[in-house]
Amino acid sequence: MTRVLHRFADRDAMCEAVAREFLAVLAEAVETHGSAHAVLTGGGAGIGILDAAARLVDTERNSGRNTAQLAEHTAGQAPVPEWSQVHFWWGDERLLAGGEAERNDEQADAALLRRLVAEYGLPEENIHRMPSTELAVSPAQGAEAYSADLAAFADDEEDDEQRARLLLPRFDVLLLGVGPDGHVASLFPGRDSLTVSGVCCVGESDSPKPPPSRVSLTFDAISTAERVWMVVAGQDKAAAVARAFTDGTAVEEIPAVGALGRAETVWHIDQAAGSALTEESTGD
């Protein structure tokens, strides 16, 4: 699997470009499959993309084009999916009480999802939140509960053996922020969760990034996604990005190297996050 590197001048430029591509993938998936499934990430870059997507969706609506015209987007316009057929999932979540500001779903609600439900026809039941502490007393229990939620939407097209075995929907695009230590979702360097297989979700009780209790997709689940997009901005990520693009770097050291999509794996980075990359590491 060849990893593709897209570089942008800064975080805002990256978020705008990724948001546009994100909407286009969802629109195409609805047209092709009748549904679209996106996996969201927490973190500044992940939420920044949702903020940018909200602006694009509003701009398209204010353009006065109807849904059919919006779907037939021309260059420069952001295609917008039929939201009633779109489903949102999470790659990880902080195991906190529902509505807590630190939860990834709460930040996604504020950035985009509440508006899609209120104004654009996204059904609340299409937002598949990872459990809160009201529903799961431990990360392990949260992982089990989310696995059941995912299984209820298992892809009946079954064009992927691992997806069928894990009872997962077709993830059309899966976003992952990357930490300064190279973690993705809540899969951290040196942790047992990196090698958990045969299941789609895993609990983390001692996250080095607060809060400590989290639920995460496993690499087995991540690798069933059609498109895996890392979204990385900031100087504090430069070392992790450089290590990720150094041949031989192990998943145990930089978990992000283990995140590979079925059809594509793209690293969307800004200039600062790419500042330690060498021509040798990227083949430029």
Name the 3-class secondary structure at 73: coil
| Ranges within 69-98 binding ligand 6PG (CB under 6 A) | 92, 94
Beta strands in the chain (DSSP E): 3-8, 36-40, 86-90, 92-94, 173-177, 201-204, 214-217, 227-232, 264-270
Least distance from C-beta 148 to ligand 6PG, angstroms? 21
Q: Which of 19, 27, 43, 238 is in the footprint of ligand 6PG by CB under 6 A?
A: 43
Q: Which of 52, 185, 259, 266 is in the footprint of ligand 6PG by CB under 6 A?
A: 185
Q: List the x/- string, 237-266, binding to ligand 6PG by CB under 6 A.
A: ------------------------------
CA pair distance 173, 89, nearest whole angstrom:
10
Are 248 and 213 a contacting pair, CB within 8 Å? no
Are 230 and 184 a contacting pair, CB within 8 Å? yes
Are 248 and 192 a contacting pair, CB within 8 Å? no
Q: Which of 35, 85, 104, 265 is in the footprint of ligand 6PG by CB under 6 A?
A: 104
Least distance from C-beta 177 to ligand 6PG, angstroms? 2
Residue 44 binds ligand 6PG, judged by CB under 6 A: yes
- Phi/psi at 19 (5° precision): -60, -40
Q: Which of 14, 36, 41, 116 is in the footprint of ligand 6PG by CB under 6 A?
A: 41
| Ranges within 205-234 binding ligand 6PG (CB under 6 A) | 209
CA pair distance 220, 59, nearest whole angstrom:
37
Residue 45 binds ligand 6PG, judged by CB under 6 A: yes
By the criterion CB under 6 A, which residues form the site for ligand 6PG? Answer: 41-46, 92, 94, 104, 177-179, 183-185, 209
